[in-house]
Amino acid sequence: MAGKTDDRAVARLIRVATYLVIGLAVTGCERNSTVSSPGNRPAPDELIVLIGPSASHARSAGIAGGARRFAREYPPLRVQIVTPSDNSAAALGQATREAVALKPGAICLFVEDVAAVRPVINELSQANVILVTMGADSRDAAAYAHIGIDTEGAAELLGARLEDVAAGKKSYLLVHGSSVGERQRRLYERFMLKARSRYGVTLLEEQDAGSETNVAELLREMFGRFKHAGLVVTLDPAVWLKQPASELLGDNARFATLSATPALWECLRSGEAAALVGPLDGEIGFQAVETALLGITKSKEGTGRRTVECELVTPATLDDFARRYAEAAGLNVDELLKPRATSQPAPTSRPAVTP
């Protein structure tokens, strides 16, 4: 592990030197802010725009914070964040038009629903800007590069550590969505690949939630049949983000899920969650902007796909993870550790653009 860390540090130092050389060259000449052809790209001190998740999305602050951290570390690059007002296709389209109007050299686009984002990618392909996608991989040829999240590895990690996560509990329930699509099916298969061999904890029941199932009601039904289940695993964190975990869990049960965003940290602290598995979200935004800059400078190093790995977070490791999560996002760890608010502010009527 130390060798891998050292290699990454050396690679980043090389990139820093490259950016500094480019920055010195740029400050001595007149800049051209137009984006008219591949041979007329803006200089790297012009602008990169990141279209992140909506403000209410659990990853929004972390991804945006990582992008801003890159801009602070590598001046004279400028980064702006465009935040869709909600998760609708209309809001994403408006945010895209807002981003294109800023005349950036590159756009970093967060992808959660590949089908919903397809029209946006098609629109961006006509805008003659370098496109870096983040999150779910659209496998789109128009994208210069993609920053992925190793959710499949996260599912396998959770399955492999199931006995540790259960912490003495002997049984668990599983809710997955393998019928929804290929991605969800792979998550389920990767989890079961390791979970099947965890003989110290028994799977009492598994349910495929599909795309239309009310997961909260499904959980209540499962706990009605298995009142003494010690753990419930969901491969989608949405149900725990929407309502208090205490309303869904059995008397002695805790949950584990594939997300480690600050919105769920209080569940670890309160004992409702046994484990969370997820990435340092700031690294997603940081690497997206870094890759976009490599595209602007026409470096072959930036092309292709990068993957941000996920970590297993338990109550015992939360403080360390929270510190590193905050550092990656350039945020205040004390603010992130505050209990989640019971309600969220209403979304604004238009995309918010922040420097």
pLDDT digits (tens, 9 = 90+) for 227-236: 999 999 999 9
Over residues 209-222, mean pLDDT = 90
Degrees to nearest 5, angle at CA 109 with 106 and 114: 140
pLDDT at 119 over 90: no
Q: How confident is the model at residue 192 (pLDDT cuts 50, 70, 90)?
A: very high
Over residues 47-51, mean pLDDT = 95
- Residue 298's pLDDT is what? 79
Over residues 265-272, mean pLDDT = 95
Q: How confident is the model at residue 86 (pLDDT cuts 50, 70, 90)?
A: confident
Whether this model's pTM surpasses 0.85: no
Among 71-75, 270-274, 307-311, the minimum mean pLDDT is found in 71-75
Common-topology check for domains 30-150+281-309+341-354 and 152-278: yes
pLDDT at 22 over 90: no
- Residue 41's pLDDT is what? 43
pLDDT at 120 over 60: yes
Q: How confident is the model at residue 44 (pLDDT cuts 50, 70, 90)?
A: very low
Q: How confident is the model at residue 193 (pLDDT cuts 50, 70, 90)?
A: very high
CA distance 305 to 41: 22
- Residue 30's pLDDT is what? 27
Among 92-101, 166-175, 315-324, the minimum mean pLDDT is found in 92-101
Q: 3-state SS of the chain?
A: CHHHHHHHHHHHHHHHHHHHHHHHHHHCCCCCCCCCCHHHCCCCCCCEEEECCCCCCCCHHHHHHHHHHHHHHCCCCCEEEEECCCCCHHHHHHHHHHHHHCCCCEEEEEECCHHHHHHHHHHHHCCCCEEEEEECCCCCCCCCEEEEECHHHHHHHHHHCHHHHHCCCCEEEEEECCCCCHHHHHHHHHHHHHHCCCCCCEEEEEEECCCCCCHHHHHHHHHHHCCCCCEEEECCCHHHHHCCHHHCCCCCCEEEECCCCHHHHHHHHHCCEEEEEECCHHHHHHHHHHHHHHHHCCCHHHCEEEEECCEEECCCCHHHHHHHHHHHHCCCHHHHCCCCCCCCCCCCCCCEEEC
CA distance 307 to 70: 17
Question: How big is the chain, counted in residues?
Answer: 355
User: Under a CB-based contact definition with an 8 Å cutoff, are residues 136 and 112 in contact?
Assistant: yes
29: amino acid identity, one letter: C
Which fold would CATH assign to domain 30-150+281-309+341-354? Rossmann fold (3.40.50)
CATH number of 152-278: 3.40.50.2300
> How confident is the prediction for the chain on average, in pLDDT?
82
Instruction: Choose the most confident range, by mean pLDDT, from 4-13, 187-196, 211-220.
Output: 187-196
User: Under a CB-based contact definition with an 8 Å cutoff, are residues 132 and 144 in contact?
Assistant: yes
Residue-range domain boundaries for the chain: 30-150+281-309+341-354, 152-278
pLDDT at 264 over 70: yes
User: Under a CB-based contact definition with an 8 Å cutoff, are residues 70 and 289 in contact?
Assistant: yes
